[in-house]
Amino acid sequence: MEAFLTALAGMGEPATLLTLLLSVAIGLVIGAIPGLTVNIAVALAVPLAIFMPTSQALVMLIGLYGAGIFGGSISAILLNAPGTPASAATVFDGFPMAQRGEATKALRISLVASVFGSIFSILLLILLAPQLADFALRFGPVEIAALLFFTFTIIGVLSGDSMVKGLLSASIGMVLATVGSDPMLGTPRFTFGLTSLLDGLTYVPLLVGLFALAEIIDEVTKGFPRSKQRFDLDQEDRARNRISLPEWRSLLLPMTRASGIGSFIGILPGIGATIASFMAYADIKRSARNPEAFGKGDIRGVAASESSNNAVVGATFIPTLALGIPGDAVTAILLGALVIQGVTPGPLIFVNAPEVVYTIYIVLFASTVLMGVIGYFAIRPLALTLRIPKIYLMPCVALMCVAGSYVARNNILDLFVMLGAGVLGFIFNRTGVPVAPLLITFIITRPFEEAVRQALTQSEGSMAVFFTNPISGGLILFAIGLMGFTLRSERRRRSTARSAPQ
Amino acid sequence: MRTMKLGFPKFGIVGAAVAATLALGAAPADAAWEPKRPIQIVVGFAPGGGTDQTARLIASAAQEFFPVPLVVVNRPGASGTLAAEIVANADPDGHTLLVAGGSESTSVPNHMKTNYQLSQFRGVIRVNREHMVIVTKAGSGLDSIDAVVKRAKEKPGSLSYGSSGPAGILHSAFLVFEKEAGIQMKHVPYQGGAPALAAVLGGHIDMAIITPGDAQAQVAAGKVHAIATTSDRAAQIPDVPSLTDAGYDVNIENMKGLVAPAETPDEAVAYMHERFEKAMQSEGFKTLAAKSKIEPGYLSGQDFEDAMKRMSDSIAAAMSGEQKAAQ
């Protein structure tokens, strides 16, 4: 209790509050810029953290983190260009909503879902951190491989109208993911002798190209039409952007499910917010009574993606605090900053430095609340971005795409990846091939290959481990069942579609 | 953005005081070589990591002694080899340095073809050394190095170790240990040291290598056995024996220092060494190094070069039986 009060008192200082305000605001902006990710923001803040008192340093890093993840949804909804990879799944329904004049509504839902997801996972962190951390440790290579195998079934959900086009997109994603060094031996694959390609095609430029640049090319070829969007400032649109009580109620269950998925993924090592948001999106779509509404501007799609990616933020702190093992790149940087503050992270942190743990809890809450407040007031001005004629807006976005792709690694190769992905995304748009399956296989393939081969190294080549392990066996059976189901309903849909015109 | 100097404001004050003191005592000894434009310190890893921290620490501490800005540039990629390749082929005019001494210098070139060799660098100064500690899960019965060797000899290939990735220094340390102890274990690479430690705690692999700081915290919590360091004993965990103590000739650790392209003139290297050494002696550097748990480990340029060569040679010797992955 004393430690809690110490932590609370540390938070009450004006300097700390000001830091929180600034870092949440900066986090929102950086998150919203395509290509600039939360990782960059946090890494750049570390040198500053050295000279701050512990509570201020934590406030700054955590404020940037949570707000940055939400910020990504702003540009996803307004510009069809996710600001961070974690908001890629927000595009599917957020952008269609904006296009039919409901940008404000989409942003509000995204904000509420983000706050909901954050609070959900922070509560888990406070109440169940040690138990959940121990549970996560039981997920070894075999279980992770099975989980990712299961995740591949998302392709079916994201394929849209044509399963063949979806699979085409997914296979391209998988091929692109094989570029880089072999995860077990380090042997270069498809790198053409370029050292820059040894880490594979980088995700951020690929994403920026496929979404933002493809959108810009699309606008250019159409000559920047003025009428594409309807703006939500007149009286009629204001009514459309209001969210009714039944709508809120319909979101409650999807948001809880998505937050659960996000928290689960967040405690596992090496999977991350991007996969979590795709998984949650697919889950909510699959469980909906009218899945065909998704992808055309369904509020549940936005809510699912955004609540799960923010749930990851709180959940990554579970292994970080309970085990002293960082849950992702951002928490790794945060742990480093704690060391500089003289706090030894590790399982004993609850005993040795309870005030730090409480500070982290309070800061997580405070930054979430502040994100809600700032977000609430920022939504309408942000939605006004859409009033800027495309002919002025798009070149600015293009500039950010180029800068964002480059600064992540200071590597010129990433620019070419971005440009190539932009052209590919444009071709996909025009031919009706969905981009989402490409993205999801691209992200999953690498960790999947790694986990499978780690498991096979342990079992000395025997595939039996995947079936004798209860978690993995169950997941694989479930995945196969789901695939069979998807194929059957696809066939039924096609046969009814064929007979319908008669 | 990255070209901005990310300041350590307090160094300004401390550094200025130190500089003023030194200016009273010493006249410039080397008028021969002077840097003409900003000196780039290239880091092969992303901002916020350990290598980046070391670079920013030494750069900000040394800034007072240089007439030109010292700029830390991050060129992350391919376990640091991308940055090494860039610096190896940079103009050897004393304006480009690399933070070296870890995987990219001593380990990776022994495993696969890189577009540079260790011999393409010359040492400027070693800044710090980081001990590496082998840990096993508490309660696994593998509570000492003898227990590990005994188990490995009873059932060859039954034990497994995790690394931060193929060809990295953690992988190499285990290879050298295997060779010295005459044992065979399975290698399971992870994306970084943290997931490998998680895999040990979860019982998915038998051992991993972590830093003394992490080992201290995990041992205190009763989660792992710290069975040995892979070089000599570490001051932070004096009770943990070293592999050398146990009779295995293993001397692998993660060093960080500055190197320049091999053809950089002697005067330039001497000029920079003198200033970086002064920086390492400053109070500001010492305080911040202690705060960041960076273990200062000064060596002259030549000694640093020799230390890297010795480590690389011992890894090469351990590899001679193995096949190089990508030849």
> Is residue A325 within 8 angstroms of chain B, CB to CB?
yes
Among A1-15, A156-170, B84-98, B121-135, the range scoring the smallest mean pLDDT is: A1-15
Are residues A347 and B198, on separate chains, in Cβ contact within 8 Å?
no
Count of residues making up chain A: 502
Residue ending a domain, among B170, B194, B229, is: B229
Pairing of strands A188-189, B70-74: unpaired
Predicted confidence band of residue A227 (pLDDT cuts 50, 70, 90): low
DSSP code of B73? E
CA distance A137 to chain B (A): 5
Here the tokens at position A392 are 């002025």
Which residues on B lie below 8 Å from A410 (Cβ)?
2, 73-76
Model pLDDT, residue B283: 92
Within 8 A of B78 by CB-CB distance, chain A residues are 181, 195-196, 198-199
Q: Is B208 found in the same domain as B283?
A: no
* For range A426-441, the mean pLDDT: 92
Interface of A with B in 357-396 (CB under 8 A): none
Q: Is B236 part of any domain?
A: no
Q: Which range among A183-192, A234-243, A247-256 shows the weakest confidence by mean pLDDT?
A: A234-243
Q: Is residue B214 part of a domain?
A: yes
B3 assigned to some structural domain: no
Query: Which pLDDT does position B157 carry in this prediction?
Result: 87
Separation in Å, CA B67 to CA A269, A482, B36, B64, B279: 46, 67, 9, 8, 14
Residues in B touching A450 (Cβ below 8 Å): 189, 191
Residues of chain B contacting A51 with CB distance shorter than 8 Å? 8-10
Residue of chain B nearest A412, judged by CA positions: B75
Q: Which amino acid is at A141?
A: P
Q: Is the minimum CB–CB distance between B194 and chain A shorter than 8 Å?
A: yes
Cβ of A119 under 8 Å from any chain B Cβ?
no
Put simply, whether A324 touches B (Cβ < 8 Å) is yes
Residue B245 lies in a domain: no
CATH for B86 = 3.40.190.150
Q: By C-alpha distance, which of B255, B270, B274 is closest to B312?
A: B255
Number of CB atoms found within 10 A of residue B247's CB: 10
Q: Closest partner residue to A348 among B114, B201, B217, by Cβ?
A: B217
Alpha-helical (H) ranges within A341-412 are 349-352, 354-383, 390-407
Assign residue B194 the CATH number of its domain.
Answer: 3.40.190.10
Kind and range of the H or E run holding B255: strand B254-261
Q: Say if residue B58 is in the same domain as residue B82.
A: yes
Contacts of A112 by beta carbon, 8 Å cutoff, 6+ apart: A251, A303, A372
Question: Do B208 and B279 belong to one domain?
Answer: no
Last-in-domain residue among B178, B195, B229? B229
Residues B71 and B92 in one domain: yes
- Interface contact B163, partner A, CB < 8 A: no
Domain annotation covers residue B265: yes
In a domain, B24, yes or no: no
Residues of A in contact with B56 (CB under 8 A): 47
What is the rounded average pLDDT of the residues A86-109? 90
Shortest Cα–Cα distance, B221 to chain A (Å): 6
List, for residues A253-299, the tens digit of each pLDDT value: 999 999 999 999 999 877 888 999 999 999 999 888 888 888 888 99
Residues A149, A448 contacting (CB under 8 angstroms): yes
Where among B182, B211, B229 does a domain terminate?
B229
> Smallest Cβ distance to B326: which of A188, A329, A332?
A188
Q: Which residues of A touch B74 (CB under 8 A)?
A: 409-410
What is this structure's pTM?
0.87
Is A342–B82 a contact, with Cβ atoms under 8 angstroms apart?
no
Do both B84 and B161 map to the same domain?
Answer: no
B235 in a structural domain: no
The shortest C-alpha distance from A277 to chain B (Å) reads 22
- pLDDT, averaged across chain A: 87
d(CA A209, CA A2): 51
Residue B288 to chain A, least CA–CA distance (Å): 8
Q: Using CA coordinates, name the residue in chain A closest to B114.
A: A195
Number of domains in chain B: 2
d(CA B304, CA B312): 12
Contact B209, B163 (CB under 8 A): yes
* Chain B residue with the nearest C-alpha to that of A48: B8
CB atoms A410 and B160 under 8 Å: no
Quick: pLDDT tens for A326-373. Answer: 888 888 888 888 887 778 788 888 888 888 899 899 999 999 999 999
d(CA B28, nearest CA chain A) in Å: 31
What is the residue type of B98? L
Give the separation between CA A489 and CA B313, rounded to whole angstroms: 62
Say if residue B164 is in the same domain as residue B194.
Answer: yes
Contact list, A342 vs chain B (CB under 8 Å): 291
- ipTM of this complex: 0.86
Do B108 and B150 lie in one domain? The reply is no
Please give the residue of chain B at the shortest CA–CA distance from A411: B75
How do beta strands B186-189 and B121-130 pair? unpaired
- The span from the CA of B46 to the CA of A332, in Å, is 12
Q: Which domain holds residue B221?
A: 133-229
Query: What stretches in chain B show pLDDT beneath 70?
Result: 1-31, 321-327
Q: Looking at the domain assignment, is residue B46 inside a domain?
A: yes
Smallest Cβ distance to A51: which of B9, B111, B293? B9
Q: Are residues B53 and B125 in the same domain?
A: yes
Looking at the fold, whether B212 and B260 belong to one and the same domain comes out as: no
Same domain, residue pair B222 and B286: no
Closest CA–CA distance from residue A186 to any residue of chain B (Å): 6
Taking only the tens place, the pLDDT of each residue in B52-97 is 889 999 999 999 999 999 999 989 888 899 999 999 999 999 999 9
Q: Is A399 on the interface with B (CB under 8 A)?
A: no
| In chain A, domain spans | 2-499
What residues have CB less than 8 Å from B264, skipping those under 6 apart?
B92, B93, B94, B122
